[in-house]
């Protein structure tokens, strides 16, 4: 059965008139008769009895009528829902993002998205960088925001901006008088950082190792918020992406430009390369349009 055949059957069954059904469907009498004939041949029997005066449903036609009504209603509902999703009148998009991005730069982006598409719901998974990659790779989410992965990654990466690491020091430290600081000076202090296998920890170690330096780690944690609180309490210093500078200040620490070497890495959107849903594509476009680098400067 085709949708066209079921609509034709319903038009005749509800009006019990081929002439009236032709007007409703904008079909000729011959085209409607051929459609009904094809439906009956496909099903294996007659659905209508007809003569020059009357059209009536057979017993099989009577049994098909409620089913046909339900089929067409379901079809129309599905068609309407998909049309609304394509036109972003409804829908859902799932996103995974590093907590530092999800808690700092993402909210104003979502506000812009909601203003444009108020009927589209967004689910945000704020997980560590490594889990963002996994969720996108496993297609648990359509979009991910994370550091640029290694070249061996199978995911597509669209850079949004370059994030540069900054030093984090206690407010009562003599280092707060500086406008910038080099790594050699910073590493003379007790160092606090994230635990392995954090991407932030690995990036720091790789950059410093290339310069013959090593992190003198005395305290470590799984959460950047805990690192910030440790620094604010005077336990030591740290280095975090500039993305987290606002969070560090809220926790009571001071952020200073860090140099020699400059540690930086691209942050961007990860996808599998498959075509995105209309809702995900709309959010992706907003992410690309935002000048996120300026927000951090």
* Distance, CA of 284 to CA of 97 (rounded, Å): 13
Helices (H) and strands (E) in the chain, counts: 13, 12
Q: Taking Cα atoms as reference points, which of 53, 58, 45, 48 lies closest to residue 8?
A: 48
pLDDT digits (tens, 9 = 90+) for 15-66: 999 989 999 899 999 999 999 999 999 999 999 998 877 899 999 999 999 9
Q: What is the mean pLDDT of residues 137-157?
A: 87
Model pLDDT, residue 91:
83
* Distance, CA of 194 to CA of 99 (rounded, Å): 13
Model pLDDT, residue 226:
92
The pair of structure tokens assigned to 243 is 């993305």
Q: What is the mean pLDDT of residues 80-107?
A: 84
Model pLDDT, residue 67:
93
Model pLDDT, residue 202:
85
pLDDT digits (tens, 9 = 90+) for 69-90: 999 988 887 887 787 777 777 7
86 and 275 Cβ atoms separated by less than 8 Å:
no
* Distance, CA of 103 to CA of 246 (rounded, Å): 10
Model pLDDT, residue 294:
59
Please determine, for residue 111, whether its predicted confidence score (pLDDT) is greater than 90: yes
Beta strands in 127-252 (DSSP E): 143-147, 156-170, 180-182, 191-194, 217-221, 238-241
Model pLDDT, residue 189:
92
pLDDT digits (tens, 9 = 90+) for 177-232: 898 999 999 999 999 998 887 888 888 888 888 888 888 899 999 888 899 999 99
Confidence tier at 264 by pLDDT (50, 70, 90) = confident
Length of the chain: 297
117 and 84 Cβ atoms separated by less than 8 Å:
no
* Distance, CA of 166 to CA of 238 (rounded, Å): 8
Confidence tier at 293 by pLDDT (50, 70, 90) = low
Per the prediction, the chain carries an average pLDDT of: 89
Q: What is the mean pLDDT of residues 111-124?
A: 92
Please determine, for residue 296, whether its predicted confidence score (pLDDT) is greater than 60: no
């Amino acid at each position: 059965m085709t949708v066209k055949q079921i609509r034709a059957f319903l038009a005749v069954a509800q009006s019990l008139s081929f002439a009236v059904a032709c007007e409703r469907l904008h079909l000729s009498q011959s085209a409607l008769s051929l459609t009904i004939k094809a439906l009956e041949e496909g099903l294996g029997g007659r659905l209508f009895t007809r003569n020059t005066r009357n059209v009536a449903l057979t017993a099989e036609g009577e049994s098909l009528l409620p089913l046909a009504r339900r089929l067409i209603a379901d079809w129309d509902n599905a068609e309407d829902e998909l049309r609304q999703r394509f036109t972003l009148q409804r829908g859902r998009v799932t996103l995974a993002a590093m907590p530092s991005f999800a808690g700092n730069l993402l909210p104003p982006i979502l506000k812009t998205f909601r203003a444009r598409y108020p009927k589209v719901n967004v689910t945000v998974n704020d997980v560590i960088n490594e889990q963002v990659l996994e969720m996108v790779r496993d297609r648990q989410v359509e979009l991910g925001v994370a550091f640029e992965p290694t070249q061996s990654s199978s995911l597509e990466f669209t850079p949004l901006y370059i994030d540069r690491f900054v030093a984090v020091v206690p407010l009562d430290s003599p280092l707060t008088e500086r406008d910038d600081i080099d790594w050699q000076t910073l590493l003379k202090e007790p160092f606090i950082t994230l635990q392995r296998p954090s991407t932030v920890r690995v990036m720091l170690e790789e950059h410093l190792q290339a310069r013959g330096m090593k992190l003198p780690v005395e305290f470590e944690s799984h959460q950047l918020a805990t690192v910030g609180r440790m620094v604010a309490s005077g336990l030591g210093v740290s280095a975090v992406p500039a993305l987290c500078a606002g969070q560090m200040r809220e926790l009571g620490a001071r952020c200073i430009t860090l140099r020699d070497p400059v540690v930086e890495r691209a942050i961007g959107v990860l996808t599998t390369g498959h075509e995105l849903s209309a809702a995900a594509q709309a959010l992706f476009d907003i992410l690309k349009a935002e000048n996120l680098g300026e927000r951090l400067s």
